[in-house]
Amino acid sequence: MFHKEGYKIITIAFLISALASVSAHYLIENKFFEKGVLIVILILLGLILQFFRNPKRNFKLNNKEILSPVDGKVVVIEEVFEKEYYKEKRLQLSVFMSPLNVHVTRYPVGGKVVFSKYHPGKFLVAWHPKSSEENERTTVVVKSEEFGEVLHRQIAGAVARRIVNYAEEGQDVEQASDSGFIKFGSRVDIFLPLGTNINVSIDQTVKGGITVLAQK
């Protein structure tokens, strides 16, 4: 199963792959070299297909838990001053996604979207300390009954060149439903109230909509 954001790119990739394969057959006389070109084409097509995959998952929704919004690895757990929305100290968790991860962004909590904003910016590597403030990004805040206002921020990286954000202010959303999509690798920051009980550790691998990041 593939995500809707990949339909156009996958179609184009198939057409280009077919054209390249036919061209290689007629233009390359060396059969060994032709097979090498075909293998490269298949590998590139396979990478595109795996990037836009959207596997079905059995979500166990719980309004007393905060779920990971994306697949990846936890790279930051620290107390920071959040400048854009809260303008006060919060507990930040950051999940880094490689190009091999599923890139659907999911709502970590359910509730009402009270803030949604896109910021154009740079494309520093996603683990750069200033990437959360200077890179292209989207900030979404969902007000939940248990945790209050929970902010998650999609951040573009050096490879990611397009962030898709579905959140609209005033919209009621369900935990683990699609919040957005980041094309070709990046990271997501989650900002939680100080004192929140954290369930994960640095370098831990997490799954979007499955792994519990924190709970009451």
Amino acid present at 87: K
Q: pLDDT tens digit string along 24-48?
A: 888 888 888 888 888 998 998 888 8
Tell me how many domains the chain contains: 2
> Could you tell me if 185 and 88 lie in one domain?
yes
Q: pLDDT tens digit string along 81-95?
A: 999 999 999 999 999
Residue-averaged pLDDT of the chain: 88
Could you tell me the CATH number of the domain that includes residue 118? 2.70.70
Largest Cα–Cα separation, the chain: 67
What integer is the mean pLDDT of 151-159? Answer: 82
Domain residues for 24? 4-51
> Could you tell me if 13 and 86 lie in one domain?
no
Active site residues: 186
